Structure 1
Amino acid sequence: MVEKKREFFFYVLFCADGTLYGGFTVDLAQRVATHNAGNGAKYTRVKSRRPVRLIYSESYEKKHDALSAEYHFKHQTRAAKIVFLKLHDVQLPKM
């Protein structure tokens, strides 16, 4: 029997109000659905930020690495976040 390795994800959401949100999860589809249902992080529970759209994700073998990526993204200025996304070939959606 082959054991499936667990993946840990750092992800970035584009919110309806044009803001960016970075997070961590083990199930991307479920987490985005939770955010859109208004049951995710406090930040995305604000109605004006929904719906959210997944614009970037990266998988890691180690939980620590995914959490570290989230931490570093969240502690950057918006301009630095946009540079990060451009370096990863992500175009921000039009509002």
Structure 2
Amino acid sequence: MTAFVDMLRCADGSYYVGSARGESLDGRLAEHQAGTRIGYTYHRRPVTLVYAEWFDRTTDAIAMERRIKCWSRAKKEVLIAEDWDRVQFLARRPSARARAPNPTTSS
């Protein structure tokens, strides 16, 4: 059964990251918009879907959700922008980033 990770931008500018299996992405977004899911997004509506990724295995979707939840806001935003060079750059330790060329300033 397939599963997905989704990231929503809330009305207050924060991000919500979740995962689900066997559900419709549109249906899940509609539940968040309607407030039928009491939780983080309930008082932060409306929400906008900014990222989604599908997985063949539920465990992979859950692992990715947990990984993204720990990311900085900057790293979440480059994921949304699908800037894979910046995602990799921001994944490095700060000391390694200081020595590496920054992809946004490279030609």
TM-score range, shorter chain: 0.7 to 0.9
Q: 1:32-47 to 2 correspondence within 5 Å?
A: 32-46=29-43
TM-score norm. by structure 2 comes to: 0.69
2:55 equivalent to 1:60:
yes
Q: Which residue of 2 aligns with 1:20?
A: 15
Amino acid at match of 1:58: E
| Percent identity over paired residues | 38
Shift, 1:88, TM fit: 5.3
| Partner SS, residue 82 of structure 1 | helix
Match of 1:75 in 2: 70
Structure 1-normalised TM-score? Answer: 0.76
Highest Rg: 1 or 2? 2
Question: Residue 9 of structure 1 contacts residue 60 of structure 1 at CA under 8 Å; is this kept in 2?
Answer: yes
- Please provide the CA RMSD for this pair: 1.7
Show structure 1 runs of 4+ deviating over 3 A.
none
Paired amino acid for 2:57? K
Q: Which runs of 5+ in 1 are unaligned?
A: 1-5, 90-95
Q: How many residues align?
A: 82
Q: Deviations over 1:36-88 (max 9, x none)?
A: 11122510011xx1111111111000000001111111111212211222235
Partner SS, residue 83 of structure 1: helix
Give, in whole Å, the separation in 2 of the partners of 1:68 and 1:44.
21
2:62 and 2:83 map into 1 onto residues whose CA distance is 18
Q: How far apart are the structure 1 equivalents of 2:47 and 2:39?
A: 13
Of 74-83 and 58-67, more deviation after overlay is shown by 74-83
Cα distance between partner residues in 1 of 2:47 and 2:5: 15
